[in-house]
Amino acid sequence: MSNKSKGIPWTSVGVAGAVIAALGGVTVALINLIPRCLPSAPTAPPVVVNNQPRQEQQQTVQLGLDEEKVERMFGEKLTPIDRTLSTIKQDYSVMLERFAALQSQLAPKLPPADSTDPLKAKAVELFNAGVELQQKGDTGGAIRKYHAVIELDPSSAAAYKNLGIALADTGELDAAIAEFREAIRIKPDDADFHMALGFALHITGDFDGAIAAYREAIRIKPDDADFHMDLGLALDIKGDLDGAITTYREAIRIKPDLDKPHGKLGVLLRDKGDADGAIAEFREVIRIKPDDAVAYYLLSAILSLKHEVAESVKNLAKAVEFDPQYRERARTERLFDRIRGDPGFRRLVYGE
Protein backbone atom coordinates (compact mmCIF):
# COMPACT_ATOMS: atom_id res chain seq x y z
CA MET A 1 0.00 0.00 0.00
CA SER A 2 2.87 2.34 0.62
CA ASN A 3 4.86 1.96 -2.57
CA LYS A 4 5.68 5.05 -4.60
CA SER A 5 3.13 5.92 -7.29
CA LYS A 6 2.39 8.42 -10.01
CA GLY A 7 1.08 11.89 -9.31
CA ILE A 8 -2.67 12.47 -9.49
CA PRO A 9 -3.91 15.39 -11.57
CA TRP A 10 -5.59 18.37 -10.01
CA THR A 11 -9.12 19.18 -11.05
CA SER A 12 -10.84 22.57 -10.82
CA VAL A 13 -10.04 25.74 -8.93
CA GLY A 14 -12.69 24.95 -6.32
CA VAL A 15 -11.62 21.32 -6.00
CA ALA A 16 -7.90 22.04 -5.81
CA GLY A 17 -8.30 23.78 -2.49
CA ALA A 18 -9.86 20.80 -0.80
CA VAL A 19 -6.75 18.69 -0.57
CA ILE A 20 -4.96 21.54 1.14
CA ALA A 21 -7.34 21.25 4.04
CA ALA A 22 -7.15 17.50 4.36
CA LEU A 23 -3.78 16.15 3.54
CA GLY A 24 -1.83 18.28 5.92
CA GLY A 25 1.46 18.65 4.09
CA VAL A 26 1.24 20.30 0.69
CA THR A 27 1.84 23.80 1.98
CA VAL A 28 4.67 25.12 -0.13
CA ALA A 29 3.72 23.44 -3.39
CA LEU A 30 0.07 24.37 -3.17
CA ILE A 31 0.60 27.92 -2.01
CA ASN A 32 2.75 28.35 -5.12
CA LEU A 33 0.11 26.65 -7.23
CA ILE A 34 -2.93 28.55 -5.99
CA PRO A 35 -2.27 32.01 -7.47
CA ARG A 36 -1.34 30.47 -10.81
CA CYS A 37 -4.54 28.43 -10.98
CA LEU A 38 -6.82 31.32 -10.09
CA PRO A 39 -8.25 33.25 -13.05
CA SER A 40 -6.97 36.79 -13.40
CA ALA A 41 -9.28 39.55 -12.24
CA PRO A 42 -11.91 40.01 -14.96
CA THR A 43 -12.82 43.42 -16.30
CA ALA A 44 -16.45 42.67 -15.52
CA PRO A 45 -16.74 40.16 -12.66
CA PRO A 46 -19.14 37.35 -13.57
CA VAL A 47 -21.94 37.82 -11.08
CA VAL A 48 -24.99 36.88 -13.16
CA VAL A 49 -26.57 33.66 -11.92
CA ASN A 50 -25.78 30.58 -14.02
CA ASN A 51 -22.86 32.18 -15.84
CA GLN A 52 -20.07 29.72 -16.49
CA PRO A 53 -16.94 30.39 -14.43
CA ARG A 54 -14.28 32.11 -16.46
CA GLN A 55 -11.56 29.75 -17.73
CA GLU A 56 -8.08 30.80 -18.71
CA GLN A 57 -4.94 28.97 -19.71
CA GLN A 58 -2.56 29.32 -16.80
CA GLN A 59 0.99 28.22 -16.16
CA THR A 60 1.03 25.54 -13.48
CA VAL A 61 3.65 24.28 -11.10
CA GLN A 62 5.30 21.02 -12.12
CA LEU A 63 4.34 18.47 -9.49
CA GLY A 64 4.03 15.46 -11.73
CA LEU A 65 0.49 16.57 -12.57
CA ASP A 66 -1.30 16.10 -15.90
CA GLU A 67 -1.85 19.75 -16.86
CA GLU A 68 -3.97 19.04 -19.95
CA LYS A 69 -6.32 16.97 -17.84
CA VAL A 70 -6.44 19.82 -15.35
CA GLU A 71 -7.77 22.12 -18.06
CA ARG A 72 -10.24 19.51 -19.31
CA MET A 73 -11.55 18.66 -15.84
CA PHE A 74 -11.81 22.36 -15.00
CA GLY A 75 -14.60 22.62 -17.54
CA GLU A 76 -16.15 19.22 -16.85
CA LYS A 77 -16.30 19.30 -13.07
CA LEU A 78 -17.21 22.86 -12.13
CA THR A 79 -20.93 23.44 -12.08
CA PRO A 80 -22.27 26.59 -13.78
CA ILE A 81 -22.64 28.45 -10.50
CA ASP A 82 -21.62 32.07 -10.83
CA ARG A 83 -18.66 33.03 -8.63
CA THR A 84 -16.69 36.23 -8.41
CA LEU A 85 -12.92 35.99 -8.12
CA SER A 86 -13.26 37.01 -4.49
CA THR A 87 -15.51 34.07 -3.61
CA ILE A 88 -13.12 31.70 -5.39
CA LYS A 89 -10.35 33.10 -3.21
CA GLN A 90 -12.60 32.58 -0.20
CA ASP A 91 -12.70 28.87 -1.05
CA TYR A 92 -8.92 28.81 -0.82
CA SER A 93 -8.96 30.71 2.45
CA VAL A 94 -11.32 28.14 3.94
CA MET A 95 -9.21 25.25 2.73
CA LEU A 96 -5.90 26.71 3.86
CA GLU A 97 -7.33 27.12 7.34
CA ARG A 98 -8.51 23.51 7.34
CA PHE A 99 -5.10 22.42 6.09
CA ALA A 100 -3.46 24.11 9.05
CA ALA A 101 -5.94 22.44 11.37
CA LEU A 102 -5.24 18.98 9.99
CA GLN A 103 -1.50 19.53 10.04
CA SER A 104 -1.79 20.12 13.76
CA GLN A 105 -3.57 16.75 14.04
CA LEU A 106 -0.54 14.74 12.90
CA ALA A 107 -0.55 11.54 14.94
CA PRO A 108 1.70 12.35 17.93
CA LYS A 109 4.62 10.45 19.29
CA LEU A 110 3.88 7.14 20.98
CA PRO A 111 4.91 6.17 24.51
CA PRO A 112 7.75 3.67 24.79
CA ALA A 113 6.74 0.12 23.92
CA ASP A 114 7.10 -2.92 26.15
CA SER A 115 10.80 -3.71 26.20
CA THR A 116 10.01 -7.43 26.05
CA ASP A 117 8.96 -6.98 22.40
CA PRO A 118 12.06 -5.61 20.63
CA LEU A 119 10.32 -5.29 17.24
CA LYS A 120 7.49 -3.27 18.74
CA ALA A 121 9.95 -1.10 20.65
CA LYS A 122 11.93 -0.45 17.47
CA ALA A 123 8.73 0.41 15.54
CA VAL A 124 7.78 2.97 18.19
CA GLU A 125 11.27 4.45 18.08
CA LEU A 126 11.11 4.79 14.28
CA PHE A 127 7.60 6.21 14.39
CA ASN A 128 8.58 8.90 16.88
CA ALA A 129 11.61 9.76 14.76
CA GLY A 130 9.30 10.10 11.75
CA VAL A 131 7.02 12.48 13.63
CA GLU A 132 10.01 14.63 14.59
CA LEU A 133 11.26 14.75 11.00
CA GLN A 134 7.79 15.57 9.67
CA GLN A 135 7.37 18.38 12.18
CA LYS A 136 10.74 19.78 11.09
CA GLY A 137 9.76 19.67 7.41
CA ASP A 138 11.94 16.72 6.40
CA THR A 139 9.20 14.93 4.49
CA GLY A 140 11.47 12.49 2.70
CA GLY A 141 13.09 11.42 5.94
CA ALA A 142 9.69 11.01 7.58
CA ILE A 143 8.44 8.85 4.70
CA ARG A 144 11.43 6.51 5.09
CA LYS A 145 10.80 6.19 8.82
CA TYR A 146 7.10 5.40 8.38
CA HIS A 147 7.87 2.77 5.74
CA ALA A 148 10.24 1.16 8.24
CA VAL A 149 7.56 1.27 10.94
CA ILE A 150 5.06 -0.48 8.70
CA GLU A 151 7.60 -3.18 7.86
CA LEU A 152 7.95 -3.92 11.56
CA ASP A 153 4.34 -3.29 12.60
CA PRO A 154 1.78 -3.50 9.76
CA SER A 155 -1.03 -2.81 12.25
CA SER A 156 0.11 0.77 12.99
CA ALA A 157 -2.81 2.92 11.79
CA ALA A 158 -0.99 6.05 12.99
CA ALA A 159 1.97 5.24 10.72
CA TYR A 160 -0.32 4.87 7.70
CA LYS A 161 -2.04 8.15 8.53
CA ASN A 162 1.18 10.11 8.90
CA LEU A 163 2.66 8.43 5.84
CA GLY A 164 -0.41 9.49 3.85
CA ILE A 165 0.02 13.08 4.95
CA ALA A 166 3.73 12.99 4.10
CA LEU A 167 3.11 11.47 0.66
CA ALA A 168 0.54 14.16 -0.07
CA ASP A 169 3.25 16.66 0.83
CA THR A 170 5.18 15.42 -2.20
CA GLY A 171 2.16 15.46 -4.53
CA GLU A 172 1.73 11.65 -4.51
CA LEU A 173 -2.00 11.78 -3.95
CA ASP A 174 -2.82 8.30 -5.21
CA ALA A 175 -0.30 6.86 -2.76
CA ALA A 176 -1.78 9.02 0.00
CA ILE A 177 -5.23 7.62 -0.76
CA ALA A 178 -3.91 4.09 -0.42
CA GLU A 179 -2.36 4.86 2.96
CA PHE A 180 -5.51 6.51 4.30
CA ARG A 181 -7.57 3.50 3.18
CA GLU A 182 -5.15 1.23 5.01
CA ALA A 183 -5.44 3.35 8.17
CA ILE A 184 -9.24 3.08 7.93
CA ARG A 185 -9.05 -0.69 7.44
CA ILE A 186 -7.13 -0.96 10.70
CA LYS A 187 -9.11 1.66 12.62
CA PRO A 188 -12.47 2.19 10.88
CA ASP A 189 -14.02 4.38 13.58
CA ASP A 190 -11.48 7.21 13.38
CA ALA A 191 -13.34 10.17 11.85
CA ASP A 192 -10.14 12.02 10.95
CA PHE A 193 -8.98 9.13 8.78
CA HIS A 194 -12.22 9.30 6.79
CA MET A 195 -11.90 13.07 6.39
CA ALA A 196 -8.34 12.75 5.12
CA LEU A 197 -9.45 10.11 2.62
CA GLY A 198 -12.35 12.33 1.58
CA PHE A 199 -10.09 15.25 0.80
CA ALA A 200 -7.71 13.06 -1.22
CA LEU A 201 -10.60 11.67 -3.27
CA HIS A 202 -11.98 15.18 -3.66
CA ILE A 203 -8.80 16.45 -5.27
CA THR A 204 -8.78 13.63 -7.83
CA GLY A 205 -12.29 14.57 -8.91
CA ASP A 206 -14.00 11.61 -7.25
CA PHE A 207 -16.69 13.75 -5.66
CA ASP A 208 -19.05 10.89 -4.89
CA GLY A 209 -16.27 9.00 -3.11
CA ALA A 210 -15.25 12.13 -1.23
CA ILE A 211 -18.80 12.88 -0.14
CA ALA A 212 -19.24 9.30 1.06
CA ALA A 213 -16.05 9.59 3.13
CA TYR A 214 -17.15 12.92 4.61
CA ARG A 215 -20.53 11.48 5.51
CA GLU A 216 -18.87 8.54 7.26
CA ALA A 217 -16.70 10.94 9.27
CA ILE A 218 -19.83 12.87 10.25
CA ARG A 219 -21.58 9.64 11.24
CA ILE A 220 -18.73 8.97 13.65
CA LYS A 221 -18.35 12.55 14.82
CA PRO A 222 -21.66 14.34 14.07
CA ASP A 223 -21.04 17.52 16.05
CA ASP A 224 -17.92 18.69 14.23
CA ALA A 225 -18.89 21.89 12.39
CA ASP A 226 -15.75 21.81 10.25
CA PHE A 227 -16.68 18.35 8.95
CA HIS A 228 -20.07 19.67 7.83
CA MET A 229 -18.36 22.68 6.25
CA ASP A 230 -16.08 20.41 4.22
CA LEU A 231 -19.00 18.25 3.11
CA GLY A 232 -20.85 21.39 2.07
CA LEU A 233 -17.93 22.48 -0.11
CA ALA A 234 -17.91 19.13 -1.90
CA LEU A 235 -21.68 19.16 -2.46
CA ASP A 236 -21.42 22.76 -3.66
CA ILE A 237 -18.74 21.97 -6.24
CA LYS A 238 -20.63 18.88 -7.39
CA GLY A 239 -23.67 21.04 -8.05
CA ASP A 240 -25.94 19.78 -5.25
CA LEU A 241 -26.88 23.26 -4.08
CA ASP A 242 -29.78 22.17 -1.88
CA GLY A 243 -27.57 19.58 -0.19
CA ALA A 244 -24.82 22.15 0.31
CA ILE A 245 -27.27 24.66 1.76
CA THR A 246 -28.59 22.09 4.23
CA THR A 247 -25.05 21.12 5.21
CA TYR A 248 -23.85 24.70 5.71
CA ARG A 249 -26.89 25.33 7.88
CA GLU A 250 -26.02 22.30 9.99
CA ALA A 251 -22.47 23.63 10.44
CA ILE A 252 -23.99 26.94 11.57
CA ARG A 253 -26.35 25.16 13.97
CA ILE A 254 -23.40 23.41 15.60
CA LYS A 255 -21.15 26.46 15.67
CA PRO A 256 -23.10 29.68 14.99
CA ASP A 257 -20.05 31.95 15.15
CA LEU A 258 -18.14 30.14 12.39
CA ASP A 259 -18.02 32.78 9.65
CA LYS A 260 -17.21 30.61 6.62
CA PRO A 261 -20.47 28.61 6.46
CA HIS A 262 -22.43 31.85 6.67
CA GLY A 263 -20.45 33.26 3.74
CA LYS A 264 -20.81 30.14 1.59
CA LEU A 265 -24.51 29.89 2.43
CA GLY A 266 -24.94 33.53 1.44
CA VAL A 267 -23.39 32.91 -1.96
CA LEU A 268 -25.64 29.91 -2.63
CA LEU A 269 -28.77 31.74 -1.52
CA ARG A 270 -27.77 34.57 -3.82
CA ASP A 271 -27.32 32.11 -6.68
CA LYS A 272 -30.78 30.69 -6.01
CA GLY A 273 -32.33 34.15 -6.07
CA ASP A 274 -32.98 34.48 -2.32
CA ALA A 275 -31.64 38.01 -1.92
CA ASP A 276 -33.01 38.54 1.60
CA GLY A 277 -31.54 35.24 2.78
CA ALA A 278 -28.17 36.10 1.26
CA ILE A 279 -28.21 39.55 2.87
CA ALA A 280 -28.87 38.00 6.28
CA GLU A 281 -25.94 35.59 5.89
CA PHE A 282 -23.48 38.26 4.73
CA ARG A 283 -24.53 40.41 7.69
CA GLU A 284 -23.75 37.46 9.94
CA VAL A 285 -20.27 37.15 8.41
CA ILE A 286 -19.68 40.84 9.13
CA ARG A 287 -20.95 40.45 12.70
CA ILE A 288 -18.49 37.63 13.28
CA LYS A 289 -15.64 39.10 11.24
CA PRO A 290 -16.07 42.88 10.99
CA ASP A 291 -13.13 43.35 8.60
CA ASP A 292 -14.29 40.86 5.93
CA ALA A 293 -14.06 42.91 2.72
CA VAL A 294 -15.59 40.17 0.57
CA ALA A 295 -18.75 40.05 2.70
CA TYR A 296 -19.14 43.83 2.56
CA TYR A 297 -18.72 43.81 -1.21
CA LEU A 298 -21.19 41.00 -1.85
CA LEU A 299 -23.67 42.56 0.54
CA SER A 300 -23.30 45.91 -1.20
CA ALA A 301 -23.91 44.36 -4.63
CA ILE A 302 -27.13 42.65 -3.52
CA LEU A 303 -28.38 45.81 -1.80
CA SER A 304 -27.76 47.66 -5.06
CA LEU A 305 -30.07 45.23 -6.86
CA LYS A 306 -32.74 45.99 -4.26
CA HIS A 307 -32.10 49.69 -4.89
CA GLU A 308 -31.17 50.28 -1.26
CA VAL A 309 -28.76 52.97 -2.35
CA ALA A 310 -27.50 54.36 0.95
CA GLU A 311 -26.91 50.92 2.48
CA SER A 312 -25.23 49.67 -0.67
CA VAL A 313 -22.81 52.61 -0.80
CA LYS A 314 -22.15 52.34 2.94
CA ASN A 315 -21.16 48.67 2.66
CA LEU A 316 -19.15 49.24 -0.49
CA ALA A 317 -17.20 51.93 1.37
CA LYS A 318 -16.35 49.37 4.07
CA ALA A 319 -15.22 46.88 1.43
CA VAL A 320 -12.94 49.52 -0.10
CA GLU A 321 -11.65 50.48 3.34
CA PHE A 322 -10.51 46.93 4.05
CA ASP A 323 -9.44 46.12 0.48
CA PRO A 324 -8.98 49.01 -1.99
CA GLN A 325 -9.24 46.69 -5.01
CA TYR A 326 -13.01 46.82 -4.65
CA ARG A 327 -13.10 50.44 -5.78
CA GLU A 328 -11.78 49.36 -9.17
CA ARG A 329 -14.00 46.28 -9.21
CA ALA A 330 -17.11 48.38 -8.58
CA ARG A 331 -16.42 50.44 -11.71
CA THR A 332 -17.27 47.50 -13.95
CA GLU A 333 -19.55 45.47 -11.68
CA ARG A 334 -22.88 45.17 -13.47
CA LEU A 335 -24.81 44.73 -10.24
CA PHE A 336 -24.07 48.36 -9.39
CA ASP A 337 -25.61 49.70 -12.59
CA ARG A 338 -28.85 50.61 -10.80
CA ILE A 339 -27.05 53.00 -8.46
CA ARG A 340 -24.18 54.08 -10.69
CA GLY A 341 -25.63 57.57 -11.05
CA ASP A 342 -25.88 58.12 -7.30
CA PRO A 343 -23.59 60.98 -6.16
CA GLY A 344 -22.34 59.03 -3.14
CA PHE A 345 -21.48 56.02 -5.30
CA ARG A 346 -19.68 58.21 -7.83
CA ARG A 347 -17.66 59.98 -5.15
CA LEU A 348 -16.58 56.67 -3.65
CA VAL A 349 -15.84 54.84 -6.89
CA TYR A 350 -14.83 57.57 -9.35
CA GLY A 351 -13.63 60.28 -6.99
CA GLU A 352 -16.08 62.82 -8.41
Whole-angstrom Cα distance, residue 346 to residue 344? 5
Residue numbers of the domain that contains 330: 290-352
CA 197 to chain centre: 14
Task: Give the model's pLDDT for residue 100.
Answer: 53
Does some domain include residue 112?
no
CA distances from 200 to 103, 250, 337 (A): 14, 23, 42
166 lies in a domain?
A: no
In this structure, is residue 341 part of a structural domain? Answer: yes
Residue 199 is predicted with a pLDDT of: 82
Q: How many domains does the chain have?
A: 1
pLDDT at site 253: 98
pLDDT at residue 130, rounded to an integer: 96
**pLDDT tens-digit readout, 61-87:** 233 334 444 334 333 433 333 444 444
Each residue's pLDDT tens digit, 264-281: 999 999 999 999 999 999
What pLDDT score was predicted for residue 178?
96
**Spatial separation of the C-alpha atoms in residues 82 and 25, rounded to whole Å:** 31
pLDDT recorded at residue 96: 54
Q: If we measure between CA atoms, which residue out of 245, 130, 135 comes closest to residue 179?
A: 130
Read off φ and ψ for residue 221, nearest 5 degrees.
Answer: -135, 75
Q: How many angstroms separate the most distant Cα atoms in the chain?
A: 83
With CA atoms as reference, report the closest residue to 329 among 294, 290, 302, 305. Answer: 294
> Does a structural domain hold residue 9?
no
**Burial 131-140, CB ≥16 within 10 A → b, else e:** bebbeeeebe
Task: Please identify every stretch of the chain with a pLDDT value under 70, giving residue numbers as ranges.
Answer: 1-105
